[in-house]
C-alpha cells in the first residue's frame, strides 16, 4: 500500500465537531464517556473528524465501517496493540489534533472467486491472506501482471501485505518490514514447503497479483482481506486500490514512519 503525506481540507480546524467511537472494552468505554462529556457527542456522519478509541484491530474496523464518509481519523490507544494509534490522553487534545501529521493510506482491493462461482470484493488495509482450510497443504499458482512466476507453491498459505500491515501478520510469518513511503508490497509465504528456497518477494505497489488455487476440491483454501473471509476460493486477485484512501493523523512525536523504523531494531 502506498502512503503519502497529504493536507487536510482547507476548511478543517481543530475546533470542529469530533466523533468518538470505542471498542467494547471497559477501559475504552470509560474513556468514551469522559471524552464525549468534555468535547461533545456527534455522529460520525456529522463530524469533521473520527476519533477511534481502542487498539489496531478497532482502528481497522473503524476504517472499514466509516470508509464511505471520507473523514480523517485520529486514533487513541486503549487496547493491546496501538501501532496505528496515538497515546490516549484528553489534555490538550484539540491542540494535538491541530499539530498532527496526516498520512494517506491506500488499501488493497481483493477480488475472490469461490468454488460456487460467487465473486467477492473486499478491501484490506493490512493484508490479504490465503490459508489452507484442512490438514492438506495448499497448492497455489502465482501470477504477477498476468505472467506466471510460481507454477506451484506448496504451503500453509501466502499473504500480500501493505507497508502499514507489514508489522502485523506479515512480520509473524517472517516477512519484511516495509517503510511507509516505499511504494512496495510484501508477498510472504506461510510455512512454505516447496519451492525450498523461496521465502517471499517485495513487489511494486501498482502490480496485480493473481493467486490460483490448485486441486481446490481436495485442498480447500480461504482468503481473508483484513477480517473479511471468503471460504473455498479458487482464484484471488489483489491490487492496490486507486479509488479508496484513508487519512490517519499522528502526533509529530509518534510518526508512523519512525515506528516502522524502530520496529526493525526491536529485540
| Binding site as annotated, residues for NAD(+) | 56-57, 126-127, 156, 164, 167-172, 228
**What are the 10-residue block averages of pLDDT along the chain, 267 residues in total?**
37 71 96 95 95 93 94 91 86 93 92 97 96 97 98 98 91 90 93 94 97 96 96 98 91 72 68
The three cell numbers of residue 251 are 502526533
Domain boundaries, the chain: 18-106+245-263, 108-240
In terms of pTM, does the model score above 0.75? Answer: yes
The three cell numbers of residue 171 are 512480520
Q: Which helix (H) or strand (E) holds 144?
A: strand 138-144
Give the whole-angstrom CA distance, residue 49 versus residue 44. Answer: 8
Question: Are 18-106+245-263 and 108-240 the same fold in CATH?
Answer: no
**Is 56 among the residues known to form the active site?**
yes
In CATH, which superfamily holds the domain spanning 108-240? Answer: Probable inorganic polyphosphate/atp-NAD kinase; domain 2 (2.60.200.30)
The three cell numbers of residue 241 are 486500490
The three cell numbers of residue 10 are 482547507
> Can you give the three-state secondary structure of 149-208, one letter per residue?
EEEEEEECEEEEECCHHHHCHHHHCCCCCCCCCCCEEEEEEECCCECCCCCCEEEECCCC
CATH topology of domain 18-106+245-263: Rossmann fold (3.40.50)
One of 48, 56, 181, 251 is an active-site residue; which one?
56
| Binding site as annotated, residues | 56-57, 126-127, 156, 164, 167-172, 228
DSSP state of 26: H
The three cell numbers of residue 170 are 506479515
The three cell numbers of residue 183 are 511504494
| pLDDT value for 8 | 46
Indicate the SS3 state at residue 168. coil
Indicate the SS3 state at residue 229. strand
Residues 6+ apart with CB under 8 A from 224: 128, 129, 130, 131, 230
Amino acid at each position: 500500500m502506498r502512503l503519502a503525506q497529504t493536507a487536510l481540507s482547507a476548511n478543517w480546524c481543530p475546533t470542529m465537531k469530533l466523533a468518538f467511537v470505542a471498542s467494547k472494552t471497559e477501559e475504552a468505554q470509560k474513556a468514551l464517556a469522559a471524552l464525549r462529556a468534555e468535547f461533545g457527542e456527534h455522529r460520525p456522519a456529522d463530524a469533521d473528524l473520527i476519533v477511534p478509541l481502542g487498539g489496531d484491530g478497532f482502528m481497522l474496523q473503524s476504517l472499514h465501517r466509516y470508509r464511505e464518509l471520507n473523514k480523517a481519523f485520529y486514533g487513541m490507544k486503549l487496547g493491546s496493540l496501538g501501532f496505528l494509534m496515538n497515546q490516549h490522553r484528553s489534555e490538550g487534545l484539540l491542540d494535538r489534533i491541530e499539530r498532527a501529521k496526516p498520512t494517506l493510506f491506500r488499501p488493497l482491493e481483493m477480488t475472490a472467486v469461490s468454488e460456487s462461482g460467487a465473486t467477492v470484493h473486499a478491501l484490506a488495509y493490512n493484508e490479504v491472506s490465503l490459508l489452507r482450510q484442512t490438514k492438506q497443504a495448499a497448492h497455489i499458482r502465482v501470477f504477477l501482471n498476468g505472467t506466471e512466476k510460481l507454477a506451484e507453491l506448496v504451503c500453509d498459505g501466502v499473504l500480500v501485505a501493505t507497508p502499514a500491515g507489514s508489522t502485523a501478520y506479515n512480520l509473524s510469518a517472517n516477512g519484511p518490514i516495509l517503510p511507509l513511503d516505499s511504494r512496495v508490497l510484501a508477498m510472504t509465504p506461510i510455512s512454505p514447503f516447496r519451492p525450498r528456497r523461496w521465502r517471499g518477494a517485495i513487489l511494486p505497489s501498482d502490480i496485480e497479483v493473481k493467486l490460483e488455487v490448485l486441486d481446490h476440491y481436495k485442498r480447500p483454501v480461504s482468503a481473508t482481506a483484513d477480517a473479511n473471509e471468503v471460504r473455498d476460493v479458487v482464484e484471488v486477485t489483489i491490487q492496490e486500490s486507486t479509488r479508496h484512501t484513508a487519512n490517519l493523523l499522528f502526533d509529530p512525536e509518534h510518526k508512523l514512519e519512525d515506528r516502522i523504523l524502530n520496529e526493525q531494531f526491536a529485540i
